[in-house]
Structure 1
Amino acid sequence: MYHAIKEWGGTPFGFIDDVTITVEDEKVQLTLPNGELREPQKEVKLLGITLNNLLDFKSHILNKINKARKAVGAIWHLGGVQKTIGILKKQAMEEWQEMYWNSSKDLWYHNITVESKCTDNLSKMVTGVIMKKDSRRILSNITQFRTGHGNFGAWFKKFGIEKDSYNCKCGELETVHHILVECPLLEEERKGLKRISPEMDMSTLLNSLTGLQEIVSFISAWRD
């Protein structure tokens, strides 16, 4: 092929899998195996990516933007982006709620919040008022008591984290239930909790606004 091009008066430029590239009068030509000639193109699509003659991605990006605009337009036509997002969000929250109700993990938290529903509305969250009112430290302590994951001897022991002692000052294993209900050293601090729930029901104390407000006072006294 090289010699044939020379005989025809052309200038061989290169060969790619039987595709011949020639230059005549400063014009690049591409000849396919079937003899078909192809003129230079400003843009080509290769493996799903659009490349231009500058070998950058501007054309590809613009194409994707245009497709996205068309998709958004179609969504608006069907009822609007916000409506579509709302539907997807509702489905995700319903799936999470179903998984939560049927979960066998984190039973401590599950038992005190079994009736809770998934929401992103702060005003509907039992901890919402505390989030707005109290410090991050208080909210952190409440979260630890509600989940059972935190600065408690039993938690460190469960995860194999070394500590001088896993026990409460009274000598018993330090758990949330022990601190709130059993520890004899905290009888005075516990009086406020008993006013809220004489039975010391964990769901009432840790999953109601009045209970959590009293828990805040209890934690402050217990930490001090």
Structure 2
Amino acid sequence: MKDLINIWLWVVTTLLNNEAKKMYNLSAVSWQKDKDVKQAAYKSTRNKWQRRWEISERSRDHYEKIPTTKHSIMYDFPTKRHFSIFAQLRTGYTELNYYKNRVGQTNAIESCNCGAPEMPHHFLLECPCYENEREDMLHQISKEVGVRNLNLATMLTRLDGENTEETKA
């Protein structure tokens, strides 16, 4: 009788364990399916966004600078403030005089203090008024990431190897 009870307990335990395993596997499959659905929806949305971005008649000046929706540029920068500044410089929508004049701010003059049009390229790389600050910036960038040959594309794009032309040390 004791053997019969032990066998019965073993069978019940085995069945319960098998049932528990099935339930666990089903929940894992269900979770995996949910994950797959979310990933598919994300990819579909990204592709739709990219197609709309490519065929849109609006914001062509933005498209020339950032032609892909593939990457989020937010992760390149440590703070929201840094992201905001770089986004402004990337798009040209800045507090620089050239943009202020372009959007019709009446008190804005187009040129920099040195007389050249105050655009991001001039502001970052050419203006003699900011020579000392530029040298400090170039030194800091070279020290931090090893970039030696600097141009506007290098400064305003990702530093993960995509869409960059920089030469690293």
Provide the TM-score with structure 1 as the length reference. Answer: 0.43
Report 1 or 2 for greater relative contact order, CA contacts < 8 Å, sequence distance ≥ 6. 2
Q: Does 1:203 align with 2:153?
A: yes
* 8 A contact 1:149–1:155 mirrored in 2: yes
**2:134 paired residue number:** 190
Deviation for aligned residue 1:172: 2.1
Query: Deviations for 1:129-176, whole angstroms, at most 9, x for unmatched residues?
Result: 42xx33x33332122111111212122222212224232121222111
Partner of 1:217: none
The aligned residue for residue 43 of structure 2 is 90
Q: Which runs of 5+ in 1 are unaligned?
A: 1-76, 120-124, 211-224
The RMSD of aligned alpha carbons is 3.4
CA distance in 2, matches of 1:108, 1:204: 18
> Which one of the candidate residues 123, 128, 142 is aligned to 2:75?
128
What letter is aligned with 1:88?
Answer: A
1: distance between equivalents of 2:61 and 2:121?
10
Supply the distance in 2 between the matched residues of 1:107 and 1:189 (Cα, whole angstroms).
32
Counterpart CA distance in 2 for 1:145 and 1:189 is 17
* Bigger Rg, which one: 1
Q: Which has the higher helix share?
A: 2
CA shift for structure 1 position 206? 0.8
Corresponding residue for 2:116? 172
Taking structure 1 as reference, are residues 164 and 203 closer, same or farther at Cα in structure 2, changes over 3 Å only?
Answer: closer
1:57-96 superposed matches below 5 A = 82-96=35-49
Q: Which has the higher strand share?
A: 1
Q: Take 2:122 and 2:63, find their aligned partners in 1: how far apart are those partners?
A: 18
- The secondary structure found in structure 1 opposite 2:101 is helix
Query: 2-side partners of 1:144 and 1:111: how far apart?
Result: 14
Would you say the 8 A contact 2:98–2:110 is kept in 1? yes
Describe the SS at the equivalent of 1:170: coil
TM-score by length of 2: 0.55
